[in-house]
Structure 1
Amino acid sequence: MMKAVTLVLCIFLTCVQAAQIKQIEGRIIGGEVANAGQFPFAASIYKRTSDGTFFCTGTILYSQWIITAGQCVDGALLFTIRVGSNKLNSDDPNALTLATDTYFLHPDYDPTTLSNDIGLIKLRMRLSYNDYIFSVSLLAGSELPDAAPIVTFGWGQTSDETAGLVDDLNYVDLVTLSNEECTLAFGNQVNENMVCVAGNNNQGICRGDLGSPLIQYSGYLTYHVGVASFISSNGCESTDPSGFTRTWPYARWIINTTYYN
């Protein structure tokens, strides 16, 4: 019998129910602290809305663009974005903090089902690249296969008992699952544009990691292949997989949006 598990989504520090899926915050479970410059494309995002301020993670896609989850841009009035540092709040001479109010939410984004959960933020200025600030090499160039080794990172919680964001960027090695396996955990709300990932025991994302990327390596190249979208209501430390939006189905929308805007 298919296990009925509600998808959970906690944007920042609040959980809001949306039909069978809830908005979540995510964290990295079972990960390691990243070295300085290991992920120069990592971006922390504070989104201000009429309801408060919420946290997400994003990825430098191009010198003036950040890619993240649709939930992380929906309803935004202002973004405060920090790049160049693995530290979320601590002083770091390599850190650069920027503000912008320009974003693009996928036109078919559905906050109830989390279909098409992908968004783009445009910075007011182009970033100057260095050892600590650099874009991901490429968007996914093809469909993401099952059992593919990938990496994700974030500043989210590191256990269900320890609430709040962490100051150090954490990362974890995971593998992709088939959509049949993903459906066993999350039911028929899982569609072909979503992908589940899992690691040893309970490794994965948690509250605070919403918008975090799936990164696939090919030699020195880094491919952006997914965006963190949902976790299980059984908790971050359960053995249920973590849910992401695949990047490849949205490549044309991403390219057109960033080219014409």
Structure 2
Amino acid sequence: MKILCALILFCVAVAGAAEAPKAIENGVYDYHRRIGIPKAFKIRKLESEMSAASSRIIGGSSTTIFSVPYQAGLILRISIFSSVCGGTLISDSRVLTAAHCYNDGNSIVSSIQVILGSSLLFSGGTRIDTNDIVLNPGYNPWIAANDIAVIRIPRVSFSLAIQPVILPSGSELNLNYAGNTALASGYGITRDGDSVSLLQTISSVNLQVITNAVCTNSYGNVIQSHHLCTSGAGRVGVCGGDTGGPLVTTVNNRRILIGVSSFTANSGCEAGLPSGFSRVTSFIPWIHSV
């Protein structure tokens, strides 16, 4: 009887895990095969063509690295392929990103190139090759749980184009930021199924943070306290190639990092559904320990 009960519980757990990616298919499990590798190919092609600029962040606009000097780009090697993600410089030797950028549950990255101080992903800036990455021990790609990681790099010199963002501290750790306007940025795509006619510069968009209760209406029990969501109203948000990147808001006249881009809806980036982030305040002790 004990064996039968254990088998039933195991089957239920597996079934639940198998259903989870359907809600968040564009974000975590098998990210590299579905999104990262195809987008890396497109971004490299688009940058080489240097045609008319547009945004990758959905509903946003092109910007420059000087507006978001904490923005990091990641070029990730998987076998013979390249994939892409975003990241955030949080000190002179640490970059915060999403855990699925390294291990999406199906593919594990063999090498990482961190790009700092460049408005383009495949050229310019400071480029650092590393394999030194620490994934949060609670990370689960099936349900986008604890989707956060720290990349350790040799110390970099700061400039107008390379500056760390501030992490929340003190009373900021107790805020849920619902109602705040926050800035998302990245090198990703403009729209679902974008064509090869856009220059891949950094893009950014202002998003409104919503409560987790509202986000649960779209994603159900996938949403946990360590998640943070932004509204997709007006078809704005993040999309393929932007995951791992920053969500920054202003508190007491200083910009602080409140989210690491994690997932979007499986119905597409322009579906008007919330964008999902890892809530930085939930991981501050762990981040400082790495």
After TM superposition, the score normalised by the length of structure 1 is 0.85
Structure-2 change in CA distance of 1:243 and 1:102 (3 Å)? same
Q: How does 1:84-233 map to 2 (within 5 A)?
A: 84-90=117-123, 92=124, 95-123=125-153, 125-139=154-168, 141-142=172-173, 143-162=175-194, 167-198=200-231, 200-218=233-251, 220-233=253-266
Q: Distance in 1 between matches of 2:204 and 2:115?
A: 18
Q: Percent identity?
A: 28
Verify the 8 A CA contact 2:226 2:279 in the aligned structure 1. yes
Partner of 2:271: 238
Q: Following the alignment from structure 1 to structure 2, what is the Cα–Cα distance between the partners of residues 47 and 13? A: 9
8 A contact 2:167–2:258 mirrored in 1 = no
Tell whether the 8 Å contact from 1:144 to 1:225 is kept in structure 2 after alignment: no
Gaps of at least 5 residues in structure 1 are: 17-23
User: Normalised by the size of structure 2, how large is the TM-score?
Assistant: 0.77
Query: Aligned equivalents of 1:210 and 1:163: distance in 2?
Result: 20
The structure number with the bigger radius of gyration is 2
Deviation of the 1:80 alpha carbon: 0.8
Instruction: Give how far 1:8 is off.
Output: 1.9
> What is the distance in 2 between the residues matched to 1:122 and 1:144?
28
Match of 1:46 in 2: 75
Question: Whole-Å Cα distance in 1 between the matches of residues 39 and 248 of structure 2?
Answer: 19
**How many residues get paired?**
244
Unaligned runs of 5+ in 2: 1-21, 41-55
Cα distance in 1 for residues equivalent to 2:224 and 2:31: 25
4+ runs deviating over 4 angstroms: 10-13, 24-27, 163-166
RMSD: 2.5
1:110 deviates by: 0.4
Instruction: State the partner residue of 2:24.
Output: 7
Moved more, 30-39 or 171-180: 30-39
Would the aligned equivalents of 1:176 and 1:198 in 2 still touch at CA under 8 Å? yes
Q: Give the structure with the higher percent strand.
A: 1
